[in-house]
Amino acid sequence: MEINVKTLNGSYGITLERGALLKVGELLNLDRRVLIVTDDGVPKEYALAVAKQCKTPVIITLPQGEATKNTESWLTLHKTMVENNFTRSDCVVAVGGGVVGDLSGFAAATYMRGIDFYNIPTTVLSQVDSSIGGKTAVDFMGYKNLVGAFYPPKAVVIDPYVIRTLPQRQIVNGLCEALKMAATCDKELFEIFKNTSEFDLDVIEQIIHCSLLIKKAVVEQDERESGLRKVLNFGHTLAHAIESVNGMDKYYHGECVAIGMLPMCSQKVREELETVLLKLGLQVSLQEDAEKLIDACRHDKKMSGDKITVVTVPEIGKFQMKDITFSEFSDMIRSVALK
Ligand code: GLY
């Protein structure tokens, strides 16, 4: 299945196909020097399968985790390219999740003012969300994604077979971002979540496909996030606060988004969402002190004066962007506190 995404300067294709990893040589131009970036949490065979299809591959394996998404890793990628005589006509390929994709994309964006970048996302989270839309970045001085660029990939290749090696918790992590898109933009996708008892490969592939179509529609209208794209931040204000209070390792991002969505919904939507979250084995109330989280939200970049911009969901498949006072926002957060 091929999806084309229009960008401000052109377009790129997303291939969604079982076994695609074994034919990337046909899908991408790998007949050159190729920096393959992966991490030690990704099965080695994936990067090796890509390398086999490249003319001159160089594999770099970074430590798994958010801590890798920093300026030192970014410089390491640049140094590796210089040491291996990479020129403007060579390319970078990410084989991994969001950290690998964001970092590699930013290294490609900045090497010699921009060389080709291909993304082969290997987690559900990166397949449904972060590999699409051209956001690349590294974290800097404690701030997530502070240094980065909008730099769309030349192509994205999604092989649903890679999901088979993911732990269940990682799969659910990615499904939460898809659920976010369903709740805000796609009633039919939400129905899939509601009516599915076993999230097998067929269902997950269908969810990935629907999510890609939603994300395509959003980023084609607002690549630079000046308006509509902010809908993808649904649930993320509280999610980022949970991450900053607990550090990046205790919870997965999707788990934080899952609970972050709840206070932003009407009572009816909240009940429907809770049913799906419980089915996926997720929490539906905060384990942390709500006041600590509220305090962490004060520094959110969506704050302006005493107001904060939030995405709310009055009914499944519909969203609103609202400026509310911080006091109203705080009460919403308190509503998911453990009683
Ligand atoms: N993950 C949110 C976005 O791509 O805008």
User: Residue 133: CB within 6 Å of ligand 1?
Assistant: yes
The tens digit of pLDDT for each residue in 274-297 reads: 999 999 999 999 888 899 999 888
Probe ligand 1: pick from 99, 126, 129, max atoms within 8 Å of CB? Answer: 129
For residues 78-92, b (16+ Cβ closer than 10 Å) or e, as one string?
Answer: bebbeeeebeeebbb
* Model confidence band, residue 244 (pLDDT cutoffs 50, 70, 90): confident
Give, in order, the Cα–Cα distances in Å from 179 to each of 18, 263, 266, 274, 303: 22, 15, 16, 11, 25
Q: Which of 69, 240, 270, 302 is catalytic?
A: 240
Q: Which of 33, 69, 135, 180 is catalytic?
A: 135
The residue among 193, 157, 161 whose CA lies nearest residue 176 is 193
152 pLDDT more than 70: yes
Q: Provide, rounded to the nearest whole percent, the portion of the chain with pLDDT above 90.
A: 90
User: Residue 232: CB within 6 Å of ligand 1?
Assistant: yes
Q: What per-residue confidence (pLDDT) applies to 183?
A: 98
172 pLDDT more than 90: yes
Atom of ligand 1 nearest to the CA of 218: 5
* Model confidence band, residue 5 (pLDDT cutoffs 50, 70, 90): very high
Ligand 1 geometric centre to CA of 286 (Å): 24
CA distance 334 to 338: 9
Q: What per-residue confidence (pLDDT) applies to 339?
A: 63
Instruction: Using DSSP bridges, classify how beta strands 10-16 and 320-325 pair: parallel, antiparallel or unpaired.
Output: unpaired
The tens digit of pLDDT for each residue in 178-219 reads: 999 999 999 999 999 999 999 999 999 999 999 999 999 999
Ligand 1 geometric centre to CA of 130 (Å): 6
User: Residue 229: CB within 6 Å of ligand 1?
Assistant: yes
Pick left, alpha or beta for residue 85 (phi over 0 → left; psi -120 to 50 → alpha; otherwise beta): left
